[in-house]
């Protein structure tokens, strides 16, 4: 299922990966995951997509829409919380909806524990507001 | 009562988990509701649990491998009984040979009786809850023999009934320390002996040459001449003793060559047979492919003679003396357990007898100077010390292995030289000394007594002798006289004989020079090895030796 509030704006450069779309908007990188089951190759595809979009070794603030997701394999979770992900992600906001996506995202945040700040949100606006706050706090340091 | 089939599936999954079946995964519906979320959560928990279980098993496997294969002895001890609960392979290998010889037996049984009190005290500390570190104990090996080990024990926190223990064998380390200590002691004694011998040589030069000149001025059959002959004989013996001391202290002047040990052994063999007598059977086992080594042939003969004479004395009723040569490569492992050994290729010379052998406390001191087991007056105690010094000066190593009533084996390792061997030097010419002449000789020596006797000997032989105690005095003589030969001490108080000789040669390029010294490390002798083409006379010298080298140098002009 594709949520209307999570689509790339007109004219934006969009990278289509095996797991979904990746684009940039107002300084944030957006991932719209469009597969229901995320395996390791999907997670890798998303990382490559982000690299292609912003360039190598640039750390971005990420907003990920996981509302359609129904399963994330252990390998995909481990990879998404690993060093490669840390090299491109400064902070991540995950947008969840259904109880299933909440459980999946909670496992990622609490059990797999990625090495960068991650929070769960139920709307894109809340996620963007948090990023703005994190960004201000980080630039104030 | 009917229920939601997904709830049934959740219950079944939980039951399977409880029975250890982590492979089962609950089926989700197409929805995204709370029940699906529970199924997803359970499936993820099962996934994660399996991942952690696999990792934990791998870690446990690694730990078990480490435990079993660790080169130190590891074991668990039951504190109540003092028995070994579990032991690794190294421990079982040392104290087994079977596991049952170790596991279930009190550790005390493996400790030698003398060390059991120390062990009991250590165990009491552990029982009281304290860890122990490096408690030194002597233990008995399963294969016989004893070793010194360091026992450490950590009390297991939860029960206080078990301790995790390590036992490290430090026997090799102790032996290495002891070897190093012995080597340092030998070095110190060598320095002392070398220093004494050097000063003594200067005195002997004066004593023996004055005596010889005095004797020459007396009728040969008179009582005084006979008395002086006794003094001369004693001087010669004293010179031989100081020579041995210098050899021990590695300060003897040598002329090493690249040689084949086999040729040297065969060359000395006939002499040994005569020396040892009929009761001793000399057997040569020589490796025909021996590598060349660099050694002074005369010194090597001294080693063989010393070892052979010791062997003969250890076999009063006769026996067998085996002389072997063999190429060996000493590796890092060997060097690790033998102090001062550099890994590499060596030629080994083994001299083995089947005589009385020596006790351990004797072998520990055999290379020390003046250590002898022979009756007073029968041995100087310098024979093996000399061998030690000669071998060390050649860059080699000497070790002794001995068992009472079985025999003794001396093993000498000389470094391989990657150059073809030279031919053996001819035996020294024993013809009559050539001496005397009418040339002009300048004697440069800062010790007035040695200078005076040198000048007197040369003057008596017909030479015109000029004397100088410094380089400036020597140069002053050159301004007014034609000098044919310079006889100079190498080490002078303000300069060196070599520097003076070089400055004089700038004026007289054909000037011949004879260097005299008692030191083995100076501008022309380096670590006892002479620069090539140098006429050198070591102190103490005798009249004939001085006249011989002077004549030879003059005739070479």
- Integer CA distances (angstroms), B179 to B37, B49, B173, B183, B410, in order: 73, 57, 10, 6, 16
Chain A partners of B47 at a C-beta cutoff of 8 Å? Answer: 73-74
Arithmetic mean of pLDDT, B489-514:
86
Per-residue model confidence (pLDDT) at position B521: 61
Per-residue model confidence (pLDDT) at position B430: 43
Per-residue model confidence (pLDDT) at position B557: 65
Does B28 sit within 8 Å of A107, measured CB to CB? no
The percent of residues in chain B predicted with pLDDT above 70, rounded, is 93
**pLDDT tens across A75-124, in order?**
999 999 999 999 999 999 999 988 999 999 998 898 888 999 999 999 99
Q: Does B12 touch chain A (CB under 8 A)?
A: no
Does B47 sit within 8 Å of A100, measured CB to CB? no
Of A74, A97, A102, the CB nearest to B47: A74
- The highest-confidence range among B195-199, B361-365, B388-392, by mean pLDDT, is B388-392
For residue A140, pLDDT beyond 50: yes
Per-residue model confidence (pLDDT) at position B424: 63
For residue B169, pLDDT beyond 80: yes
Residue bearing the bigger pLDDT, B45 or B429: B45
Chain B partners of A97 at a C-beta cutoff of 8 Å? Answer: 32
Residue B30's closest chain A neighbor by CA? A70
Q: Does B426 touch chain A (CB under 8 A)?
A: no
Per-residue model confidence (pLDDT) at position B60: 95
Q: Report the predicted TM-score, pTM, of the whole model to 2 decimal places.
A: 0.54
Q: Does B131 touch chain A (CB under 8 A)?
A: no
Computed from CA positions of residues B390, B394, B397, B402, in that sequence, does the dihedral angle turn out positive or negative? negative
> What span, in angstroms and rounded, lies between the C-alpha atoms of B469 and B463?
19
B359 phi and psi, to 5 degrees? Answer: -75, 160
The percent of residues in chain B predicted with pLDDT above 90, rounded, is 32
Of B7-11, B220-224, B528-532, where does mean pLDDT reach its minimum? B528-532
Min distance A51 CA to chain B CA atoms (Å):
29
β-bridge pairing A89-95 and A118-121: parallel
Residue B48's closest chain A neighbor by CA? A74
Please give the interface size between A and B, counted as residue pairs whose CB atoms are below 8 Å apart. Answer: 45
Per-residue model confidence (pLDDT) at position B1: 53
In the beta sheet, which residues pair with residue B488?
Answer: B444, B515
Does A102 sit within 8 Å of B40, measured CB to CB? no
> What span, in angstroms and rounded, lies between the C-alpha atoms of B525 and A57?
67
Chain B partners of A98 at a C-beta cutoff of 8 Å? Answer: 32-33, 36-37
**pLDDT tens across B202-237, in order?**
788 889 888 988 888 888 788 888 888 888 888 888
Per-residue model confidence (pLDDT) at position A113: 87
> What span, in angstroms and rounded, lies between the C-alpha atoms of B476 and B503?
12
For residue B268, pLDDT beyond 90: no
pLDDT band at B145 (very low <50, low <70, confident <90, very high): confident
B177 phi and psi, to 5 degrees? Answer: -60, -40
For residue B238, pLDDT beyond 50: yes
Does A73 sit within 8 Å of B28, measured CB to CB? no
Q: Does B22 touch chain A (CB under 8 A)?
A: no
pLDDT band at A48 (very low <50, low <70, confident <90, very high): very high
Does B48 sit within 8 Å of A102, measured CB to CB? no
Q: Which of B32, B41, B47 to mutate to test the interface with A (most CBs of A within 10 A)?
A: B32
């Amino acid at each position: 299922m594709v949520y209307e509030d999570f689509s790339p704006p007109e004219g934006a450069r969009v990278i289509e990966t095996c797991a979904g779309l990746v684009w940039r908007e107002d300084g944030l990188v957006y991932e719209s995951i469009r597969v229901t089951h995320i395996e390791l190759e999907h997670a890798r595809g998303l990382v490559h997509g982000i690299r292609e979009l912003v360039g190598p070794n640039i750390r971005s603030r990420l907003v990920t829409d996981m509302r359609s997701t129904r399963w994330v394999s252990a390998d995909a979770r481990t990879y998404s919380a690993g060093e490669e992900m840390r090299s491109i992600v400064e902070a991540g906001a995950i947008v969840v909806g259904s109880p299933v996506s909440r459980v999946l995202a909670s496992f990622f945040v609490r059990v797999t524990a990625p090495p960068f700040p991650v929070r769960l949100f139920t709307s894109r606006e809340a996620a963007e507001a948090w990023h703005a706050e994190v960004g201000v706090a980080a630039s104030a340091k | 009562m009917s229920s939601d089939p997904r709830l049934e599936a959740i219950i079944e999954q939980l039951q399977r988990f409880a029975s250890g079946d982590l492979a089962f995964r609950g089926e989700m519906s197409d929805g995204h509701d709370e029940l699906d979320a529970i199924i997803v959560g359970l499936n993820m928990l099962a996934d994660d649990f399996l991942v952690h279980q696999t990792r934990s098993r791998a870690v446990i496997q690694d730990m078990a491998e480490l435990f079993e294969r660790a080169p130190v002895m590891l074991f668990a001890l039951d504190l109540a009984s003092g028995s070994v609960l579990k032991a690794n392979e190294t421990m079982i290998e040392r104290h087994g040979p079977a596991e049952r010889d170790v596991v279930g037996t009190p550790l005390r049984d493996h400790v030698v009786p003398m060390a059991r009190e120390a062990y009991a005290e250590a165990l009491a500390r552990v029982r009281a809850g304290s860890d122990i570190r490096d408690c030194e104990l002597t233990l008995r090996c399963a294969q016989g023999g004893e070793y010194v080990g360091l026992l450490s024990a950590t009390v297991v926190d939860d029960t206080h009934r078990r301790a995790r223990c390590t036992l490290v064998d430090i026997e090799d380390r102790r032996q290495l320390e002891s070897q190093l200590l012995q080597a340092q002691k030998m070095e110190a004694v060598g320095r002392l002996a070398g220093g004494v011998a050097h000063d003594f040589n200067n005195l002997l030069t004066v004593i023996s040459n004055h005596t010889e000149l005095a004797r020459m001025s007396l009728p040969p059959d008179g009582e005084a001449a006979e008395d002086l002959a006794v003094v001369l004989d004693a001087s010669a013996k004293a010179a031989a003793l100081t020579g041995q001391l210098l050899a021990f202290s590695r300060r003897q002047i040598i002329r090493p060559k690249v040689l084949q040990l086999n040729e040297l052994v065969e060359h000395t063999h006939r002499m040994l047979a005569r020396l040892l007598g009929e009761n001793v059977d000399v057997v040569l086992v020589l490796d025909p492919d021996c590598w060349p080594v660099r050694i002074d042939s005369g010194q090597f003969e001294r080693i063989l003679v010393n070892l052979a004479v010791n062997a003969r004395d250890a076999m009063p009723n006769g026996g067998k003396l085996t002389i072997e040569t063999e190429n060996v490569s000493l590796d890092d492992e060997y060097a690790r357990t033998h102090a001062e050994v550099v890994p590499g290729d060596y030629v080994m010379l083994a001299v083995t007898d089947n005589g009385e052998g020596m006790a351990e406390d004797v072998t520990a001191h055999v290379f020390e100077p003046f250590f002898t087991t022979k009756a007073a007056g029968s041995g100087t105690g310098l024979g093996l010390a000399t061998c030690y010094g000669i071998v060390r000066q050649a860059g080699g190593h000497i070790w002794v292995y001995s068992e009472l009533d079985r025999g003794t084996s001396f093993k000498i390792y000389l470094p391989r030289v990657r150059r073809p061997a030279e031919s053996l030097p001819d035996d020294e010419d024993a013809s009559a000394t050539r001496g005397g002449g009418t040339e002009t000789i300048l004697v440069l020596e800062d010790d007035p007594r040695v200078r005076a006797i040198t000048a007197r000997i040369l003057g008596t032989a017909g030479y015109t002798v000029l004397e100088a105690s410094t380089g400036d005095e020597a140069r002053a003589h050159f301004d007014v006289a034609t000098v044919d030969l310079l006889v100079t001490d190498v080490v002078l108080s303000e300069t060196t004989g070599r520097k003076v000789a070089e400055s004089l040669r700038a004026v007289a390029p054909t000037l011949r020079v004879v260097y005299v010294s008692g030191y083995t490390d100076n501008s022309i002798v380096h670590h006892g090895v002479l620069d090539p083409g140098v006429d050198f006379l070591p102190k103490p010298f005798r009249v004939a030796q001085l006249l011989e080298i002077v004549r030879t140098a003059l005739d070479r002009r």
